[in-house]
Structure 1
Amino acid sequence: MTNQFLWVIFPYVCIAVFIVGHIFRYRHDQFGWTAKSSEFIEKKQLMIGSLLFHVGIIPVILGHVAGLGIPKEWTRAIGISDHMYHMGAVWGGGFFGVVTLAGMFILTARRFSNKNVRKLSSTSDLIVNSLLLFIVFIGVYSSLVTNNVNPGFDYRDSISVWFRSLLIFRPDAGYMASVPLPFKMHILSGFLIFAMWPFTRLVHVWSVPLNYAGRSYILYRRSPAKATRR
């Protein structure tokens, strides 16, 4: 029953909340659809952390998409052996994972340690930063440590097959039974951040700067001093 909840019910609930939550927020809270930048408070750490995070996260996401979505039979068919794929996934993915982790650590430390940045941050900002840091850390740990401690484990025979079974609405929790704990923690925390996504500043990921050019409204904020004089 626990396996069924963790690997069938929980993922579908998180995906549903992700979709419905975005629709609801876009319709009812477009004014809050913002990254709430704190660049004007502190710029150096933000620039370094953001650069490292974005340089690392794009290859990491592409690696996840390929690893989860492409069956090993397909990679074998184009001449990529299992060993070659494994080395690329572990060390290539591990490298970009470490870069992402370094960036996320800087951004999280900045948000917690800089008094002015923390004052600007909401509770959800702090939770999201902490959770993202954990997700990236446990992902790097799984890639560089767990894979080496469990040399016989191949996530493409378990996690990938389970994930694809979710996509075709034929979920099979049995594939996750023998998966090492760090991988399970990485997956569950990943689904959790998807469920939280629509209700945090992460929604700004879907915004394109060009959208602002077509807006028919401009917001002006009157300072208290000027408002009093009027």
Structure 2
Amino acid sequence: MSTSSILLWVIVPYAAMATFVVGHWWRYRTDQFGWTSGSTQLLERKVLGWASPAFHYGALAAIGGHVVGLLIPKSLTEAVGLSEHTYRWFSAVAGAIAGAVCVVGFVGLVYRRSTNLRVRRTTSRTDLGTYLLITVLIGLGCYMTFARNLLASSPYDYRESVSLWWRSLFYLDPDVAAVEHASTVYQVHAIIAWGFWALLPFSRLVVLR
């Protein structure tokens, strides 16, 4: 393995996991009174009332779909009689719905934060960085769902590359070769996702409210 491969597919994931866990612990221990999402509900409620639930529920559904898709081996779904074609369409449609709800909510939140001066003043640089990562993740996710899955003549099977690497991280034997052979857009999506999880404990998204 090259140095860059070790950095991207071994060090970055474990560093992100450690930062996610330690970051939450550190923030709770040192900033208990600030252990909130920095709620701006009192500053504006109309847009927040529908945008926040849409974003959070959509994001949770998308994250759940990612975990299930990455966690369940292809051999298991085939063993229970679920063909690759059926699995691909089911996951793509469910992901598209979750992504659409998340996008609608996210656009509403960004609009609210950019047009309301009082709300905008509460935005930190960490928040801006988090929003940027989310924007890229959503964009790549939509592209992969539609262009690389639903509409492609030869859909990409991430369960034979990215999934193998993702699961291997948790039994401490990273399958770098598997992810190195993955499509570039999936690789970029994975790296940016680790960056998002590392930054999350220090943003207002630390608490879903």
Contact 1:112 / 1:126 at 8 angstroms: preserved in 2?
A: no
**Where does structure 1 differ by over 6 angstroms across 4 or more consecutive aligned residues?**
none
Higher relative contact order (CA 8 A, sep 6+): 2
Q: Are residues 1:75 and 2:77 paired?
A: yes
Structure 1 window deviating more from structure 2 (195-204 vs 75-84): it is 195-204
Q: 1:152 and 1:52 mapped to 2: Cα distance?
A: 29
Q: CA deviation at 1:53?
A: 1.3
% identical aligned pairs: 38
Aligned counterpart, 1:59: 61
Aligned counterpart, 2:140: 138
Amino acid in the other structure paired with 2:49: M
Q: Any stretches of 5+ residues in structure 2 without a counterpart?
A: none
Helix, strand or coil: the match of 2:96? Answer: helix
Q: CA deviation at 1:126?
A: 2.1
Aligned counterpart, 1:167: 170
Q: CA deviation at 1:150?
A: 6.9
Map Cα deviations across residues 151-188 of structure 1 (whole Å, 9 max, x no partner): 24201111111100111100021112232232222211
Map Cα deviations across residues 110-144 of structure 1 (whole Å, 9 max, x no partner): 22232221112222222222222221221121111
Amino acid in the other structure paired with 2:179: M
Q: Are residues 1:177 and 2:174 paired?
A: no
Which of 197, 202, 206 is matched with 1:203 structurally?
206
Amino acid in the other structure paired with 2:132: S
Aligned counterpart, 1:120: 122
Aligned counterpart, 2:193: 190
Contact 1:90 / 1:143 at 8 angstroms: preserved in 2?
A: yes
Amino acid in the other structure paired with 1:63: G
Label 1:200 to 1:6 Cα distance change in 2 as closer, same or farther (>3 A): same
Aligned counterpart, 2:4: 2
Label 1:94 to 1:202 Cα distance change in 2 as closer, same or farther (>3 A): same
Q: Any stretches of 5+ residues in structure 1 without a counterpart?
A: 208-230
Helix, strand or coil: the match of 1:120? Answer: coil
Label 1:106 to 1:150 Cα distance change in 2 as closer, same or farther (>3 A): farther
Q: Are residues 1:93 and 2:95 paired?
A: yes
Larger radius of gyration: 1
Contact 1:197 / 1:203 at 8 angstroms: preserved in 2?
A: yes
The alignment covers a number of residue pairs equal to: 206
Helix, strand or coil: the match of 1:10? Answer: helix
